[in-house]
Amino acid sequence: MKFALVDCNNFFASCERVFRPGLEKRPVIVMSNNDGCVIARTNEVKALSIGMGVPIFKVKDIVRANRIQLFSANFELYGDISQRIVTILRQETPLIEVYSIDESFVDLSELPIDDTRAWAKRVQDRIQQEVGVPVSIGVAPTKTLAKVASTYAKTHHNGIEIVDTDEERREMLRDMPIEELWGIGRKLAPKLKDKGVSKALALIESSDAWLNQQFNVTGMKMVDELRGQARIPFGDKSDQRKMIMRSRSFGHAIRAYHHLESAVATFTAQAAANLRAQGSVCRGIVTFLDSGKIDRENRIYASQLVTLDEATADTGQLISAALKGLETAYDREGTYRKAGVIIVNIQSVEEWQLSLIAGDEKRDEKQALMRAMDRLNKKFGTGTVWHASEAHGDSDWQSRRSQRSPRYTTRLGELPTLKR
Amino acid sequence: MKKGTASDGVVYHAGFPNAGEDQRFESLSIDQLIFRHRASTYLWRIDSQGVPQLGWQAGTIVAVDRALGPREGDLVVAVVDEDFTVRRYRSGKIEQLDGRAETSQEISLWGVITHAVQEYRTP
């Protein structure tokens, strides 16, 4: 097996730099929209020891002293740039799994590639040249190793790390801190360190008996993968679906809005990509949040359907709809263990065009939508889904985005300007 | 003998064939022209000064493809002192539209201009 992970460097910040050449060497921070936490930062910012998730007011002196450029998140821009990168990857290889807004796996096992490094370099150069965003690429025999390799590549070998031999694998893992590993959260890392294991190689070369005590089944899968045995299958290639769901359980409970926001935007971008891949458009998207079981009795499941005026498969439109849904579903008091989006009321492009000609699109669509809502309500309990128009509070949605850059690539009214 | 003439005694239906029956096609869209490369084409708008040398009024929309290598005489978007500007590519260099050499040291090529769309009547 041979997998590549193509990972964008400081993705949101890199997107902002595409249209701001003056920021090429300057520190850039992208903030969440509402509470002003750091959600992306360039290497110059990392060098100033400003961490992810830090509230911006806590570092405002450093920001001023170092003339750090701040941006509010511009998810339409990031979604569009992400889509462009996926388009290029699809031209280079048939088997890709869009993992998140800034990462895609590629299955190279079956491809007739003689020189993997040359292939990776070509992909890296194309994305830099054609889209304008730098990427790191890790290639390895398992997905987990490919992920580690892409992290390693950010500081080695000009952004490309190919793990072929056992020696290369061990070399890479030798100094890799365990907290950088997939599936080892902030909770587990200190525990393992207390037991004297702080580097990835030392971890996976511990005895199986000891590892079995530390990890559950998923954790052991990760260990196998780091040892070079593929355990995580590549992508899922299902046929046309009538609902597309993308969700993930978080390793720990999440309260902060900005975490949920980027998760929801990511899921939406993935779901929208699937929607287009199957040649469909949709008229609605449900955003949902799940607290998991708080105790025997309590579990908060909140969701919000947002309907779209026009059928679409456009990432930007779907992301802004999904984020509107999140606004309504989100409760400041809640903590969440899972979030996701469900694209509903899916039609093929052909069906949609036919219904436009027949002139009864609205009626059909309403019926289909009601059926979709009914199904969801049945599955998750009454009140799960309701129309956005029935809910309150769409109110200050726009006003918070004070430092958002223009949506250069998704709005005709916000195109970048060119001088003579 | 030619086949299919009336003298054969064969009856032909003479209505227009429905091309839609066995052929799939899309109506024309200007996108087909402008977005030859979806991933690398960006749209820009000319600022309030316009580009009189090219007859471009303020607000003209310009398509820029980053996937293309510049050819002799191409119009390009160049970053000059951190500003995005319209320039021409000639003899391996980026020069001003009137043919003068670019004086700035800080200059780089951003993309090749492929189309300009002039709006004569706004909605």
CATH node for A241-380:
3.30.1490.100
What's the pLDDT score for residue B14?
60
Q: A374 falls in which pLDDT band (50, 70, 90)?
A: low
Residue type, A395: S
C-alpha neighbours within 13 Å on the C-beta side of residue A347: 20
In the predicted model, what is the mean pLDDT of residues A236-251?
Answer: 67
Interface of A with B (CB under 8 A): 21-22, 84-85, 87-88, 91, 126, 129-132, 408-409, 412, 415-420
Residue B25 lies in a domain: no
In the predicted model, what is the mean pLDDT of residues A361-388?
Answer: 48
**SS3 assignment for A338-368:** EEEEEEEEEEEHHHHHHHHHHCCHHHHHHHH
Going by C-beta distance under 8 Å and a sequence separation of 6 or more, which residues neighbour residue A225?
Answer: A142, A143, A144, A145, A231, A232
- Asked whether residue A23 carries a pLDDT value surpassing 60, the answer given is yes
The answer to whether the Cβ–Cβ distance between B49 and A130 falls below 8 Å is: no
Report, as ranges of residue numbers, the positions in chain B whose pLDDT lies below 50.
1-7
> B110 to chain A: which residues are within 8 Å by CB?
21
Count the neighbouring beta carbons within 10 Å of the beta carbon of residue A132: 20
> A348 to chain B: which residues are within 8 Å by CB?
none
Dist CA A154 CA A160 (whole Å): 8
Q: Compute chain A's Rg from CA coordinates.
A: 22
User: Which residues 45-64 of chain B have a CB within 8 Å of chain A?
Assistant: 45-47, 49-53, 61-62
Dist CA A406 CA A299 (whole Å): 39
Residue B16 lies in a domain: no
Q: Check: CB of residue A330 under 8 Å from CB of residue A260.
A: yes
pLDDT digits (tens, 9 = 90+) for A150-186: 999 999 989 999 999 999 999 999 999 998 887 676 6
Could you tell me which of A386, A343, A103 has the C-alpha nearest to residue A246?
A: A343
Could you tell me which of A39, A38, A51 has the C-alpha nearest to residue A262?
A: A39
Q: How many domains does chain B have?
A: 1
What's the pLDDT score for residue A351?
62
What's the pLDDT score for residue A63?
92
- What is the greatest pairwise CA distance in chain B? 82
The whole-chain average pLDDT of chain A stands at 83
Going by C-beta distance under 8 Å and a sequence separation of 6 or more, which residues neighbour residue A400?
Answer: A33, A34, A72
Backbone torsions φ then ψ of A194, nearest 5 degrees: -60, -30
B29 touches chain A (CB under 8 A): no
Q: Give the residue, A170 or A247, on which the prediction is more confident.
A: A170
Residue B77 lies in a domain: yes
Backbone torsions φ then ψ of A387, nearest 5 degrees: -70, 145
Q: For residue A232, give the DSSP letter.
A: S
- Report the residue of chain A nearest B46, measured CA to CA: A418
Q: Which residue in this structure is represented by tokens 């964008």?
A: A8
Smallest Cα distance from B56 to chain A, Å: 10
Smallest Cα distance from B2 to chain A, Å: 41
User: What residues pair up with A104 in beta bridges, in sequence order?
Assistant: A6, A98
What's the pLDDT score for residue A101?
82
Q: Is A375 helix (H, G, I), strand (E, B) or coil?
A: helix
- Asked whether residue A74 carries a pLDDT value surpassing 70, the answer given is yes
- What is the greatest pairwise CA distance in chain A? 70
pLDDT digits (tens, 9 = 90+) for A257-270: 888 888 899 889 88
Q: For residue A237, give the DSSP letter.
A: -
- Asked whether residue A145 carries a pLDDT value surpassing 50, the answer given is yes
Residue B19 lies in a domain: no
Dist CA A380 CA A374 (whole Å): 10
Residue B105 lies in a domain: yes
Could you tell me which of A242, A245, A317 has the C-alpha nearest to residue A288?
A: A245
First to last CA, chain B: 60
Dist CA A297 CA A293 (whole Å): 8
**Domain span at B78:** 37-117
Residue B61 lies in a domain: yes
What's the pLDDT score for residue A262?
86
For helices A257-277 and A75-92, angle between their N-to-C axes, nearest 10 degrees: 40
Residue B50 lies in a domain: yes
Domain CATH number, residue B97: 2.10.109.10
- Report the residue of chain B nearest A77, measured CA to CA: B42
What's the pLDDT score for residue A135?
98
Residue B78 lies in a domain: yes
pLDDT digits (tens, 9 = 90+) for A313-352: 888 889 999 999 999 888 888 888 889 998 987 877 766 6
The encoded tokens of residue A380 equal: 């998750």
Q: Give the residue, A183 or A375, on which the prediction is more confident.
A: A183
Backbone torsions φ then ψ of B45, nearest 5 degrees: -125, 135
Q: Give the residue, A202 or A353, on which the prediction is more confident.
A: A202
B78 touches chain A (CB under 8 A): no
Indicate the residue of A87, A126, A416 with minimum beta-carbon distance to B84.
A416
